[in-house]
Chain A
Amino acid sequence: MTADAAAGPGGEPGFTPDFTFSIDGVTVPAKKGDTILKAGLRAGKFIPHYCWHPGLSIAGNCRICLVHATKTMPPGKPVIACATEVVEGMEVESDGPRTKELREGVMEFLLINHPLDCPVCDQAGECDLQQYSFDHGRETSRFEEEKTQRPRKDLGPLIRFVGNRCIVCTRCVRFCEEVAGTGELSVVNRGDASWIDTFPGVELDNPMSGCVADICPVGALLDKDSMHSTRVWLLRGTKSVCAGCATGCNVNVETFDEKVKRITPRENQAVNRWWMCDAGRLTWREATAPARVGAARIAGQEVPFARALERALELVRDASGGVVGLTTGFASNEELFTFQGLVGRGAIAAAFAPDGATFTSRDGFAIAADKNPNREGARRILGEGALGAAGQDAAIAALEEGKVGLAIVHDAAPGGAPWSPRLLAALGKAKARIVLALHETPANADALRGAAVVLPAAHATEKDGTFVNAMGRVQRVRPAVPPPAGARSDLDVLEELARAAALQPRVLSAAGVFRRLAQALPAQFGGLDYNALGELGRPAPGAGEALLGRGRPLPIVDGVRSGYEAGPVSRAPGRADDEQVRPSVHHESLVGYGTRRGDL
């Protein structure tokens, strides 16, 4: 196990304790300058907190982390664990009857003006207020007066504010100030009339605004995209990677009833810290867009998937003449490798989505301008020659020669791959054409029109495989939902085609293809083991900050184990923790493929 894995999510690779202190009689190692809360979390001792977040500065205003500790001034006075530095030999009482009384008191204050609207609140089920009320709160309220009423309004395009639920912990204010760097939010008014609002004439519309809904410990800030769509306790999380740009943010794709309900960030200190951008949050809608190719077609007629695949296999078997392949920066490494094998010595061209908006947060989180999740993978597997205009020119030359028997187009790019009009025109010169397409749009309509077979391509939320992000980190993308009706994933289809072309005796799963890929390309993928990629991925050979090019590199920060991982805090950790990798192939089919369950 490498140091990276041993440290865990948000762990500190080089942690060396300076001294020890004790929490509830348990000896805890600490570094000079640690707070009680931080050192406790590192050692797995959870102390409740609302306003403290590992990625934000210490505010110390919620008071739920009050504990009793020795060696504090004045002696005997409770201290807040989030802002109190530990000293050697300090004895902290975080779980005794005295501390319980403190928390009961704080909870009572926090709940004075909090409405009892959990049944309609989208935070219910992953709400810290609910959790601590259950753990430390009183059963009934002694408050008989009228609760204050605060506004309910949209703060920006993605965020809705429900004032009555706000406990004014200021996590969102600090996020906009310290992370996004845009500072749209502030606390307005005083006392029990204070709430969170944007400055006059300003909207909360920074590129990471969705994160304030994630870090809000209560239901005051809600993501409008997933609001009222389900209840969180129904959701099943799949640990995957966002396909919105080359940063490759680690995400949980949260699904219910085989439908994606939302995408939330997953902590990875080497990639996205705790954050993700708003555009990435909405990528799941690509899978349900009206432009989606939902059914297989033979010569323009919709047919069952199995029949279309059969026809494609025939075309590959009977192909005479050369083969030309077109792919995109949205294909996984495994798909690219199998695709390359399939095209063989023929020309291969990869198209990439054009550069888009870029943004670098104050803490180093970067939205890459490169909107292709796997451009780096395509470069490593296909080589520079296949990329961009050079690759397209080679493909056009091969096609215009008129000796191409089969063109295989793998277009997994949302909105259609931007192939040049010349290339699309030249495609007609191939005797037959097999197209795997995610969307049908004006951009790629010419590729689909006149194709012998069109098969629906899988969206990133439906794929099993790996992407290489802009920094050269190989990360797993896992299938959260099945591909459209009856369809099989792109890798399955490509592997079947490769078998039909007598290139290989059997169809492999993503794990199997990756194993071959790592053996075939030691300079690009050597030393990587699919099963050891884990949840956080591994750097590929030659990975580094220089690859990012645009935006600032992401530093590995001196973080502690995040609250997300350490206890019942925002975004219910247990929900996504079970490692459930759903095979993209039905178990009964495995026998026919000569593959064992373990391979998947």
Chain B
Amino acid sequence: MGNVHDHAHDHGHDHGHGAEEEEGAPGTTLADRTYIPAVMRGIKLTLARFLQPKATVQYPEESVYDRGSDDRAIGTQNPRLRGEHILVKDEQGREKCVACLLCMAACPALCIYIEPEAAPADWGPDRERRPKVFELDMLRCIYCGYCEEACPCDAIRLTPKLYQPTTSRLERVYDKQRLLENNQDAQVPQRPRK
């Protein structure tokens, strides 16, 4: 930073005094006119940076949070960060979603599409319906969490998993299976039932 600042100052000075050149003023000395010290300073900076650890993060293979950076601008990942969704299963392995379509109604980005169907008979009398199709367009999603809030069954949750880049848009439309399997290891705190 110091170098850059000095240079800027010099330049400003030069410019300000344009015509009336003084003896020994910046840019008139031999050292300045050969450029050698300036070039050496530049090389020194380059070499110093070259030997420092790299700041580049190989996204998406690694994340800024993996480094445990103490840079306050990056900080640590908030455990309450709203990332990709999961569909939760109950103790018996049935998806909790009853296809009430309230998340679809609450979604301001219109990124959820659900088609309900009657639940299989062997699911027992407590479950009447389930989603036949559950599609979530992660590209349209604004990660507001309204779906999670609207869900009466605690079936859709946002996890801290950041969205991953893909090579096609279609891959960002998650179907039911993918949402059920998505980030199952995520430590999502279970909310107590009312």
Contacts and interface: CB of A to CB of B under 8 A. Distances in A.
Are A and B associated in one complex? yes
Given A119-B152, A119-B153, A228 B102 contact: no
Contact of A152 (B105, B116, B125, B129): B125
B129 A120 contact: yes
Contact of B100 (A152, A229, A231): A231
B10 interface: no
**Listed residue (A124, A152, A228) with the most chain B CB atoms within 10 angstroms of its CB:** A228
B128 interface: yes
Nearest to A234: B101
Contacts of B101: 230-231, 234
Nearest to B116: A228
A228 B128 contact: yes
A120 B100 contact: yes
Nearest to B128: A120
B64 interface: no
Contacts of A543: none
Given A120-B129, A152-B125, A230 B98 contact: no
B100 A233 contact: no
A234 B125 CA distance: 27
B118 interface: yes
A564 to B, nearest CB: 24
Contact of A230 (B102, B116, B118): B116
A572 to B, nearest CB: 14
B117 A228 contact: yes
A171 to B, nearest CB: 23
**Listed residue (A120, A229, A230) with the most chain B CB atoms within 10 angstroms of its CB:** A120
Interface in A215-243: 227-231, 233-234
Interface string B148-180: 000011000000000000000000000000000
Interface residues of B, number: 15
Contacts of B125: 152
Nearest to B98: A120
Nearest to B125: A152
Contact of B102 (A119, A152, A227, A229): A119
Contact of A119 (B100, B115, B117, B118): B100
A228 B100 contact: no
B100 A227 contact: no
Contacts of A119: 98, 100, 102, 152-153
A152 B118 CA distance: 15
Interface string B17-50: 0000000000000000000000000000000000
A230 B101 CA distance: 8
Interface string B115-135: 111100000010011000000
Contacts of B98: 119-120
B27 to A, nearest CB: 68
A227 B119 CA distance: 12
B160 to A, nearest CB: 27
Contacts of B118: 227-228
B121 to A, nearest CB: 13
Contacts of A233: 105
A124 B128 CA distance: 15
Interface string B78-101: 000000000000000000001111
Contacts of A230: 101, 115-116
Contacts of B99: 228
Nearest to A229: B116
Nearest to B119: A228
A231 B101 CA distance: 7
A36 to B, nearest CB: 37
Interface of A: 118-120, 124, 152, 227-231, 233-234
14 contacts: A119-B102, A120-B98, A120-B129, A124-B100, A152-B125, A228-B99, A228-B116, A228-B128, A228-B129, A230-B115, A231-B100, A231-B101, A231-B116, A234-B101
Given A119-B98, A228-B117, 5 more contacts: A119-B100, A119-B152, A227-B118, A230-B101, A231-B105
Interface of B: 98-102, 105, 115-118, 125, 128-129, 152-153
Report the 7 A-B pairs with minimum CB-CB distance, sorted nearest first.
A119-B100, A119-B152, A231-B101, A228-B129, A228-B118, A120-B98, A228-B116
